[in-house]
Structure 1
Amino acid sequence: MSDQVIFPPLHDPAVLTELGSLAARHKAASGLGMQVLGWVGGNAETLLERLPAPVKDRLEAVTRTALENAFSAAARSRGVVSDRPDWLNTALTTAMGAAGGLGGLPGAMAELPVTVTVLLRAIQGIAAEHGFDPAEEEIRLECIRVFASAGPMAADDGTDLAFVSARMTLTGQSVQGLIAKVAPRLAGVLGQKLAAQAAPVLGAVAGAAINYSFTSYYQEIARVHFGLKRLAQTAQLDEGFLREELRARIARKK
C-alpha cells in the first residue's frame, strides 16, 4: 500500500487565479537577468569560466560566510531601520553594484557580502508584507531558502520550489545546515555576477545593471515564496500540494 497522499483537484476560482498570478510572476522574474547576460555576452557557464581560479576556489566559502553574516545583520537591522519599498532596495543595490563594478573584481568581491545582506533584509520585508513575522526563526529560515532559487541568469522550471520550502528542525544546527545547502547554489549565481561585473570596459554600468536585475529577481521570487505560503494559510490547503500545483503551472509556461 502506498503512503502517498492523494489530493483532490482544485476548483476554487480564487485559488486558481492566485496560482496563475504566482506562476506568471515566477516566469517574469528572470527576464532582466537574461537581458543582462545577453548584453555582457556568452552564457552563465562561460561567465563562470572567466573568473580566476583562486576566486572560483574561494567562492563557496565566501558565499557561505556572506550568508551567515547576513542572517545576523539583517535581523538586527530590523530594530533600527524600517522596511523599505522595492524601488529603494533596488536603487541601493544598483548604486552598490556600480561602485563594485568600478573597482573591477576586487571591488565586486568587497561589495558582494553587503549586497547579500541588503537582499536578505529586503526578503524579510516581503515576508512581513505577507503577514509573517521575520523575527520568528522559522520565517528567518524561509528567507534564506529564497536564495535556493536558480538565479536571474538561469531558466528555472520550478523544480527548486520543493527545496526552497523544505522543512527543517529549527535549531542552531539547522541554520548552519540550511546555509550549507544553499551556499553552493548561490555561489554559482554570485559567480556569474562577479564575472559580469569584472568584464572589461563595462565596469560600473555592468555592475549597476547586474545588481538591478539581481534585486528585482530575488524580490519577485520572495513574493512567489511567501505568496504561496499565505495562500496555503488563507485557503486552508496543504502547502506542499499548492507547491506541486504551482510547479506544474510554471512548467506549462516554459
Structure 2
Amino acid sequence: MAAALRKQKPDGALYNRTPATEAQLSILGQLSRDEILARSQIHSRSDPGYVPSECLLHLVRASRADNSNAWFERLYKVLSARVLRALPAAASADGETSSLTNERIRDKAYGRFIEMLAGDRQTYDDRLDFFEIRFDMALKRLRLDAQKQVWRDDNRSQPISYDDDNGELSPEMEQAAGSLNPFEGLEFDDEAFRLRLDAAIEALPSEQSRTIQMLMLEYQIHSEDPNVVTICKVLGKTPKTIWNYRDRAMKALRKALVEGEDQ
C-alpha cells in the first residue's frame, strides 16, 4: 500500500488519494519498472494501460528512497513532458492572449512545479499532495496563479479608457461597490475548495473572470485618484458595468461551487 499523504485539512485530518488512484498504485506495485515506464508513456487516457498523472507523480516522489537517481530521472522525464503538454502553447486558442504572454505563463507555472518537485526530492513538500489527489485541477491552479501574476504585471500601468455605457453609479453606490468583499465567508483555508474556485473562475465569461481576478488581487473597482489602477480603468468600463460583472460572476461561482459540493 502506498504511503499516506501528509497534508492536513484545517480540522487536522489528513487528505487522502481517491480510491481509484489507490487501486491503480496497487496494480503498478505488481509490475516491473520496465512495464511501468512503458505504460507511463501511453498518452491516451482511454487506454487500459494508461498511468494517471496522480500515480506517476507518486512514483516520482517515492523514488527518493532509492539509492540511485536513474529511476527518478526516467520517470521525471515522462512527468515533465506531461506537465508541459498541459500548459498553454504559444498560440492562443481564444485569439486574445499573445504568444509571449502564454510563454511567460507556461514558464512560470512549469518552473514552479519543477521547483516543488526538486524541493520534495530533498524534504517532503506537502503541497504536492494535492497533485496526487487531483493532478489536473492542481496543475490548473498553478497555471491560473501564473496567469494572474503575468496579467497583474502587464496591467499595472494601463491608460485610462472608459466606455460610455449610458449609466453611472451614484457616489454612494460606487463606494459600496468598491468596498464590498464578495469572497467574505468562503473557505480559502481549504485547498481543495480553492482549486474548485479557480476552475470555476476560469470558466466565467472573459470580462467577469478578469473582474473577479482583479478583486482577488485587491484592486479597487473605482477611484477618483487618477494615479490608482482600478478595474474600471483596466477594462475600460464604468463602475456600474463592473459592479454588474461582479454580481453575475459571484452568482455563477456560488452556483458552481454548491453543485460541486453535491457531486
Q: Which structure carries more relative contact order (alpha carbon 8 Å, separation 6+)?
A: 1
Structure having the higher Rg:
2
TM-score by length of 1: 0.25
Which of the pair is proportionally richer in helix? 1
